[in-house]
Every structure is written in C-alpha cells, then in structure tokens.
Structure 1
Amino acid sequence: MAEKFSDDVITAVMTINNALKEPGNNEKFELMLAGLMMRDDLNQREADDIKDFQQLFITLKEKDKIRPGKIKPLLKGLGDIGRQDLQRLLRDGPDGIVQGGYESKKPQTKKPQTAREVPVGPSTAPNPVMPPSEEIMGEDLSQCFFVVVEHVGRDWRFLGRQLNLRQFDFDQIVEQHPRNLREQVQTMLELWKDRYRTKATKASLVAALRKCRMNLAADMAEKTATTE
C-alpha cells in the first residue's frame, strides 16, 4: 500500500493553496510552474492544466515526483517565488507556522456576482445562458473533497451508499476510471454534489464519513474552509 502524506502536510497544502490565490500571486504561481518545467518535474501540457497549488501537489504525487518525506520539488518551487514562509509551513507543519512567523489568513468569502443586465430585444432573441449560481449549487466543497480523496481508499463505495448514490453510479465511475482509485473517489464526490446541490453540504458529508467509521477523514474535513 502506498504511503500517505501526513495530516500536517495536507493541511499545509490547503493553507498554501489559499495563500497563493490571494490577489497579485497569479504571476508568481506561473513562475513556480516554469521553474518546475525547467527541472523536468512537469511538462508543458501538465503545467497548462494546473490551476492551483492543490492540483500541482496531486499531479506531482501521481508522477511520483513527491512522496512522504520527499517534497523537494515543491519546496524549490516556493523558493523560486521567494515564499520561504510557505516553505517552512510545508516542511515543518504547525511548527513552521510558529517558527516562520507565518500567519494563515481566513479565506475570503466570495461575494455573489450580480447578473449583467441584458438588453430587451425582439422576442426572437435567444435567452442568455447564465452559469449556475452559488445559491443553486450550494457550498463550495473543493477543499473538503481534496481531504476526503486523500483519506478514503477502496471503501469509497460504502461512503457513496451513505450519500444515497446507487450501484449503477459506482459501476459507471469504475468504467470511467478503471485503474485510478483517486479519480474514482473524486468522481463519486462530484456526482453527489451535482445531484444533491444545496443539500450536499460539508455537514452531511462529515456525518456520512462518521457513519462509515472514517473518523480521521471526518475530522480533517471539518477543518476545511467552505464558501457559500
């Protein structure tokens, strides 16, 4: 069985992900990806697909470029952009927060976007297609899903049943991702979110995890931030 990263590392990855999403950090993240490509840790196609630090962490893990106790590519990447505070956080865990003087910031709550006014035209004019609003989709559980994928293994179907998914759903997921356990868990969670929308909350996911006796995953999920 492959070694898993510690809870401290997973928590650090989520904190760093939030820090690098703050205004003004987009160019720095692009610089980090460029450095990783120069050191052959990523290729151009992979770099183009990576949108944030969590996705970078997952990609390097799947490529076996990082593993528990060996995270040098990520540390070098953070060094490339002068974020020694985040280096310490990733390397030392909670101790790094204290020793490095890094103060984690609460993630900014997304403000609901107001739809632009559409000029009233002839009756034949097509209706504008608007993206699903957060009011319809409910909580953003991306960080919560990241933790669950890290901690839930081959028993993901058991969790899926607690989330009211069906055997037919599981069969389709396995058919889509026959050899990738992580993608199976991620797809199952996304299917649950798409199907139940506002009813698919962090609280209901944590409750389902506890019913499955997946208490470590439940504890970690409770610590994640959500936006509404």
Structure 2
Amino acid sequence: MEENSLPEEDVEMIENSDGKDIVSNEASPMVEPFIGMEFESEESAKSFYDNYATVMGFVMRVDAFRRSMRDGTVVWRRLVCNKEGFRRSRPRRSENRKPRAITREGCKALIVVKREKSGEWLVTKFVKEHNHPLLPLSPNVRRNPHLSQTPDEKDAKIRELSAELSRERKRCAALQQQLDMVLKEMEEHSNHLSTNINNVIQRVREIESNTFTKL
C-alpha cells in the first residue's frame, strides 16, 4: 500500500538534532512504545518494534507506507502484528485440499512512525492491545528475517535473485554450447577414423586380391 498525498510538512528537510533523546538500535526491547517516542531512523524504529514484539510474544509485520512527493523517499510507516487484517476468501480449487490455517485475526495492535523535518522518526500512533493470545519468546531466538522485510527490500531481493538466475542461465547456455562443440568434434573425429579404417581394409583386400592373381 502506498500513498503519495502528503502535506508539505511530511517532505524531508534534513536538519541537525539538538538535545533530543533518540532511540537507537540498541534500545531495550522491554521499553513500551509511546506516542512521541523518537528514533534516529526508520530501521531503528523497525528494529525496536521487532524486539518489542519478540518479548511480548507476537510477530511484527511491516505494513503500509507513504512516500514524499518531492523525492519519493519513505516518510511514513505502519508496523503491525502479523495477525492484522483478515485473509481474503477464495474459492477452493479442490474439495480434497485441506483449508489453510487461519493466520489473520483482525488484530489492531500497531505503531505508526513518521519522519520529521529534522530527519528523526516519531511515533504518532500506538495500539497495544491484541485480540489473540501472546506467546513471549526469548530475544535470542532466531527468527526468519523475511518476516520483517519491507516491500522495497523484498522487491530488491527479487531483482537480485532474478539477475543471479539470468546470469546462471547464460552460463549454462555457454557451457551447453561448448559441450555441443566438443561432441561435434568427437563425432567428426570418429567418422574420420572410421573412414581411415575402411580405406586400410580396402587396401589390404586389394593387395590380397593381387597376390592371389599372381599365384
């Protein structure tokens, strides 16, 4: 989801920050988000809420964002619980297929962060309550990094993998061409040997024929 209509104050104007406390990536995951909480970057905000989600017992999902109309950079981001919203109902292709597990339950828990003119990111909305049980995890538990990727990061990863696949296909095509050339040379060499052998046999037969004639 992307919205391009932003008021002028949402457009980036980088300034130096003086005397303000900014939450960095090293912020304690036990700190609860609050409106007015500041981060030095969007990544810091995502890292903080991801750690908070791990401790509280839910999984963060990077949701909607808005871009600046001036330079196209992200200036607003919504981070939600992965059980936010509801799964779209689709007709089943086969009665034999098992229905997919329900992973969306309409959870409203989220935070919204917005980039200020100073370049800092400010929490402008926080909903703490979940409508489902929470399963707290240790912060040391390794999680799938793809769960917290933004749409931009996913697109970049897809482009990277597509480029790598294209390179591998070209490499395979070049190797196949070289293999075909080797096989062709081997076939030509085999045909040449067969011709030489046939010539030798024919020559031997001619010699034997001439010998018997003289006798």
TMscore range, shorter length: under 0.3
Name the structure with the higher helix share.
Answer: 1
TM-score, length-scaled by structure 2: 0.19
* Larger strand proportion of the pair: 2
Larger radius of gyration: 2
| TM-score normalised according to structure 1 size | 0.19
